[in-house]
Chains A and B, each alone.
Chain A
Amino acid sequence: MREIHVYDLIVVGGGPGGYTAALYAARAGLDTLVLEKLSAGGQMALTEEIDNYPGFEDGIDGFTLAEKMQQQAERFGAKSAYAQVERMDLTASPKVLETSEGTFHARTVVLATGANPRELGLPHEAALTGRGIAYCAACDGMRYKGKTVVVVGGGNSAAADAMLLRRIAQKVILVHRRDTLRATKVYHAPLMQAENLEFRWNSVVTELLHEEKLTGVKVKNVHTGEEDTIPCDGVFISVGRKPATELVQGQLELDRSGYIIADETTATNLPGVYAVGDVRTKPLRQVVTAVADGATAVHMAEEFLAGGV
């Protein structure tokens, strides 16, 4: 029988957390592979300008930053494969990852599968992303200076987006399907008092109106069924995120929202398995916190590997 190749460390997901883990692992002399289904960067690859990643004083676009992170890890010997993971056995020894490009084996696994913003699921939503549709006010808000924007959602992230946008945009309209915000109390008063903020309660967006770019939305009142049109320049969709954890369900402990339960050490409930970046339970999901996780995970993996397992 042909002997199988066992990597010291396989990273699942080529975003900032994943490629930082690969960089640290490769520099530590570990035989390292990154499995990425499309291209480096994850959510970051769709961010036009990142101004809060230190060291790039003029900002940098997310796609370029991701390519740099990949090249840096590969410079030290990390390998990458365009592979979509289909199944994982994280309790086996070595751990088994079945992918579109064949089966891989590793002593340790770093899960950097990230999270994706939940979409409204309306026609043309993907095509209009970046042309009026956005999922992150902190990322794209500045493009709507002095304009009219709609925020969809009523949770904490929608409230935070509305708070930020009311200072940038001329007018903010918050569309929420209930008659009150689900967001924590601290947001309520400032939002209610904001002069340029209007609420559309009990309402859902039913259509994205557009030419080359978004021009407005159609909104329906869920009680009366009444529909009307709101002309606007941008729509910030803030209806939550979903972590990409379907493949580890039943193997790893997840919290109620589906995030992998792991603290600052990134260690999960399974030995030799680490969760980094947006996929793990944490208070702040940013590029800087993801890269920090990547470094920590490799530190933990090295300890685990040194333990002779």
Chain B
Amino acid sequence: MAAMNLNKEQLQQMMNGDKPVLVDFWAPWCGYCRRIGPAYEKIAEEYGDQLVVAKVNIDEEGQLAEAERVEVIPTLILYKNGKAVDSVVNPGSKAAIDQFIQEALAK
């Protein structure tokens, strides 16, 4: 399944579900964000049954990004039971995203 773009309400709803939620905070003007895009779609495909893999456009959801203290993009945050367990800024490879997810899930 493709990574879904969520707004604040939708994200809140997802966080109340059973699955952990992975969010990529991004913006259309951000080159580094664009570069992780294809690998992130692959992540969505591979982890679809364990995780909700989502995206938040910080230009559209500025308040949400601020509330989550996202200062630099791309930032990936993994939420379990509605709480942020870990985050990573600008991962340099798909392998780095894999490792981040596995470590965050184990926390």
Contact = CB atoms under 8 A, between A and B. Distances in A.
Which applies to chain A's interface (DSSP): helix, strand, loop or mixed? loop
A39 interface: yes
A38 B94 contact: yes
B30 interface: yes
A203 B7 CA distance: 46
A63 B93 contact: no
A100 B93 contact: yes
Interface residues of B, number: 22
Contacts, number: 59
Q: Chain A: interface residue count, which band?
A: 10 to 19
Contact of B37 (A39, A84, A124, A130): A39
B38 A39 contact: yes
Which applies to chain B's interface (DSSP): helix, strand, loop or mixed? helix
Contacts of A48: 31
6 contacts: A37-B92, A41-B35, A83-B95, A84-B94, A101-B95, A124-B72
Given A63-B31, A126-B32, A126-B89, 20 more contacts: A37-B92, A37-B94, A38-B39, A38-B93, A40-B38, A45-B35, A46-B32, A46-B35, A82-B42, A82-B93, A82-B94, A84-B93, A84-B94, A84-B96, A100-B94, A100-B95, A126-B90, A129-B31, A129-B32, A130-B30
Interface of B: 29-32, 34-39, 42, 71-73, 89-90, 92-96, 98
